[in-house]
Structure 1
Amino acid sequence: MGAWGSGTFENDDACDLVCDLRESTDLSLLEEALRTAAETDEDLDAGDGSKALAAAEVILALLGHPSPAIAEEEDLQAWMKANPQRPTAALLALAERAVQQVTAEDSELRELWDEVDSLDEWMAEVNTLQAGLRAARSAVG
């Protein structure tokens, strides 16, 4: 796992998503990352899980509820300013389902954090994201 911390953007896969997003002007990359995680019928790959968490963070920030994890992401801040878009309720629901899949017992990403004895730290980050997503539901009504 190419990670240097438990934060959403502290891994290679999330950074790859951010780099790809800089070349985009819509939410399709975010939707693709979320759909890959939310609709998998197999064990969720760690890379796909990391991208889904990053995508959910961006959706949350676009809804006006940025988490602390995104505050230090200058590239994302610039992209959101240049591409102000309002995610739909359906996209928010997809983000919630994706994050649930990432935290499922059979998620490879969850298993990796457990193997390095940092599951509690990682789950704290993900729980903050999940709480933000739940709170954002009222923003998209």
Structure 2
Amino acid sequence: MSLEQDPIDEFEAARAELQAISAQADANAQGAAALADDARTLQASVRSPRGEVTVTARVGGAISAVQFADAALSLRPAELSRLVETTIAQAQFQAAQRFADRAAEAFGTDSEIAAQLRADALAAFPEPGPDTTGIRY
């Protein structure tokens, strides 16, 4: 404190800063609660390019539905297996991305929390490419 500054002004500035920190903490707590609800309810459905299979995945990679169209019957078992694995990977990736997008909405796109959740989502469920194999969860 300098002799030129009024102690009451300094106190008011400190109080305002603490109020801003408290308001941000409250907003983060509300965002975290909403995000926790989203973690339980968000999912993504992906349909294979020709529509033989549709997969629904939840946040965290759990598969909640796999549906086959009649067109799936025209595929050889190995082709169908590969198509199902690829579609699962795409659904898992999309569910993880939806969760990361919600985190950005809840905490701000530039927040460390949102950035970390997006990085975690990409690490757990990387964007599938044409050679994607395997199911993750």
Shorter-chain TM-score bucket reads 0.3 to 0.5
In proportion to residue count, which structure has more helix? Answer: 1
Bigger Rg, which one: 2
Instruction: Give TM-score scaled by structure 2 length.
Output: 0.34
Higher RCO, 1 vs 2 (CA within 8 Å, ≥6 residues apart):
1
